[in-house]
A = this chain, B = another copy of it.
Amino acid sequence: MLQSQLFTKTSKDAPKDEVSINAKLLSRGGFVDKTMAGVYSILPLGNLVLSKIENIVRQELNAIGAQELLMPALQPKEIWKKTGRWNDLDVLFKVTSRFKSEYALGPTHEEVLVPVAQKFISSYKDMPISVYQIQTKFRDEARAKSGLLRGREFRMKDLYSFHTDEQDLDEYYQKATKAYQNIFVRLGLNSILTEASGGTFSKYSHEFQVEIPTGEDVIFICKKCNYGVNKEISKDGKCPKCLNIGEQLKTSEVGNIFKLNTKYSKPFDFMFSDDKGEKQFVIMGCYGIGTTRALGTIVEVHNDKDGIIWPKAVSPYDVHLLSLQPDDKTVRMETDKIYKALQKGHHTVLYDDRDVRPGVKFADSDLIGIPSRIVISKKTLDKQSVEIKERRSGKVEIIKIQNLKL
């Protein structure tokens, strides 16, 4: 991609109303644009990162046999009345049609999915089974000041599993936990499995928390058990496993998993025939990862004073190629040649071909945060060399062009 043709431009200053690091850096870098509090456009650079995040999520969930589907945001009032959440869920957005019907704007999808699952699951032989979607959710949040960490509209992966008994749910819950840990490792996030309350959803749950200085959550982490507990359910900080007092951390939640048991199968009378032909309620689990929130969290964790430092697996491009004298014929020719060779080697490249000062290019490159930078200038070309800089370590190397790994 030629940077001169990129839809977005960087800016020196973040919008004045942004307070979070993720929103400031993502806005300045041209990754997102704020439409209103808690609602963002994900611009082309941001969309490249988001697609990578969502594909990692997809791969790890497909690996545990979950099947992807896509449920609607617009949902009939009746199904929300059935579970009592039409009145009980304060963040539920309600829509009135010009034909007077009322709809919910999906903040989660148990109410839509259970009636669908009911059509296909009737016997113990139909389980275990799990489905997920990566889709846009809506929640009428009171506070939406943390950039992409808490949105009124946001992207989320929600997985739902169906089981004959609690033991089968437990087994899948362990599998999902492992899949989540794999996902967060691949996203460059050091997640802490944390015991938590289930909110309005479930009695107990687990969260995957990531330490960030401005996190909205507080947890106690037990280093011995490598296990956290949310301060909301443990004011004394005792580890639920060994009862030692944990270390207090500020964190942000990137995922959560719930044992729903029969919470949603009961109101819909969602039953199956067991191996003795007797009717039983289906046991359910649900598992969420906010993918736009993960994007924001990655930025909160991976940045320095100059900008973002993307982990390789989610970087919008593999290489940032900077031509310092784009008007010089030799520099232009050599840079074009390296650009093409990198692409041929299946590297994605952002090529800064803009007619601006080198200082501007370096600052923009630091801000945008692509892991590897290759700088082409007359000075090094005279020695048949280019400069390579690693964004994270700041390590600079001068390499002969013939030795470039393309």
Interface residues, chain A, CB within 8 Å of chain B?
5-9, 30, 33, 35-36, 39-44, 46-47, 50, 65, 67-76, 90, 93-99, 105, 112-113, 116-117, 119-120, 129, 131, 135-136, 138, 140, 142, 152-153
Contacts and interface: CB of A to CB of B under 8 A. Distances in A.
20 contacts: A5-B65, A5-B129, A9-B120, A30-B120, A33-B116, A35-B72, A35-B74, A35-B76, A39-B72, A39-B74, A39-B75, A41-B116, A46-B69, A46-B70, A72-B153, A74-B153, A96-B96, A99-B140, A99-B142, A135-B136
B71 A73 contact: no
A95 B95 contact: yes
Q: Which of A5, A72, A113, A152 has the most CB of B within 10 A?
A: A72
A112 B71 CA distance: 24
Contacts of A69: 7, 41-44, 46-47
B70 A50 contact: yes
Given A44-B131, A116-B33, A116-B41, A7 B93 contact: no
B136 A73 contact: yes
A39 B75 CA distance: 8
A36 B67 contact: no
Given A5-B65, A70-B47, A98 B140 contact: yes
Contacts of A138: 73-74
Given A7-B69, A41-B69, 7 more contacts: A7-B129, A7-B131, A9-B120, A35-B72, A41-B116, A97-B140, A105-B105
A149 B245 CA distance: 60
Nearest to A93: B95
A41 to B, nearest CB: 5
B41 A70 contact: yes
| Closest 3 A/B residue pairs (Cβ) | A44-B67, A42-B70, A74-B153
A6 B129 CA distance: 9
A196 B97 CA distance: 29
A35 B93 contact: no
B76 A112 contact: no
Q: Helix, strand, loop or mixed for chain A's interface?
A: mixed
Nearest to A43: B69
Q: Which of A40, A47, A67, A68 has the most CB of B within 10 A?
A: A67
B35 A112 contact: yes
A9 B116 CA distance: 11
A331 B81 CA distance: 50
A7 B120 contact: yes
Nearest to A132: B44
Contact of A43 (B41, B105, B116, B153): B116
A318 to B, nearest CB: 17
A74 B41 contact: no
Contacts of A42: 69-71
A71 B40 CA distance: 7
Contacts of A5: 65, 129
Nearest to A42: B70
A75 B35 contact: yes
B6 A67 contact: yes
A268 B354 CA distance: 28
A203 to B, nearest CB: 26
Nearest to A97: B140
Given A94-B95, A95-B105, A105-B95, A72 B41 contact: yes
Contacts of A74: 35-36, 39, 138, 152-153
Nearest to A79: B35
A33 B112 CA distance: 10
